[in-house]
């Protein structure tokens, strides 16, 4: 497994998501979000670890035939990181939250609600 490439993938997904350049969409499965590229897709989801009870964030790499080619998680990334460098849960959690907000249209909803609240109901 090439964790260097996985780390770069997460970093670039975070960067492009912050820039608003990625079109995250809800997956057919609940609470999973994905972004499609020319021939491939990346999907994110969170599952509670059975042993520890802690949430783990998963990244699936899906090929052009819709088959999951690889699945990685935050613990795998941290395990292969330099000693003492355990920040991948935070990075993936941030990515998941941003992907979720984008996929569900949170910013649009917030803008609409703020606009309605700011309108003066007595203004004619």
> Tens digit of pLDDT for each residue in 77-88?
888 666 656 689
Identify the residue with better confidence: 83 or 41.
Answer: 41
Identify the residue with better confidence: 53 or 64.
Answer: 64
SS (H, E, C) 36-57: ECCCCEEEEEEEECCCCCCEEE
Q: How far apart are CA 21 and CA 111, in angstroms?
A: 19
Question: What angle separates helix 106-118 from helix 88-104, to the nearest 10 degrees?
Answer: 60
Q: How far apart are CA 39 and CA 18, in angstroms?
A: 23
Neighbouring-strand partners of residue 68: 62
Identify the residue with better confidence: 107 or 36.
Answer: 36
Is the model's pLDDT at 45 over the cut of 70? yes
At 73, list the tokens. Answer: 């998680």
Quick check: helix, strand or coil at residue 105?
coil
Identify the residue with better confidence: 3 or 47.
Answer: 47
Let me know how long the chain is.
Answer: 124
Q: How far apart are CA 34 and CA 11, in angstroms?
A: 16
Identify the residue with better confidence: 43 or 119.
Answer: 43
pLDDT at 4: 87
At 10, list the tokens. Answer: 């997460």
Whether 50 and 56 have beta carbons less than 8 Å apart is answered as: no
Q: What is the pLDDT of residues 69-112, one digit of tens each?
A: 999 998 888 886 666 566 899 999 999 999 999 999 998 999 99
Average pLDDT, the chain: 90
Is the model's pLDDT at 122 over the cut of 70? no
Whether 88 and 10 have beta carbons less than 8 Å apart is answered as: yes
């Amino acid at each position: 497994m090439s964790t260097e490439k996985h780390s770069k993938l997460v970093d670039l997904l975070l960067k492009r998501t912050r820039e608003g350049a990625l079109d995250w969409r809800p997956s057919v499965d609940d609470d999973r979000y994905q972004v499609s590229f020319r021939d491939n897709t990346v999907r994110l989801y969170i599952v509670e670890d059975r042993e520890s009870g802690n949430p783990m964030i998963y990244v699936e790499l899906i090929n052009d035939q819709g088959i999951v080619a690889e699945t990685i998680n935050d613990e795998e990334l941290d395990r292969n990181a330099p000693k003492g460098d355990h920040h991948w849960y935070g990075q993936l959690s941030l990515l998941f939250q941003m992907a979720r907000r984008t996929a569900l249209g949170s910013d649009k909803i917030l803008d609409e609600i703020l606009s309605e609240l700011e309108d003066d109901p007595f203004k004619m």
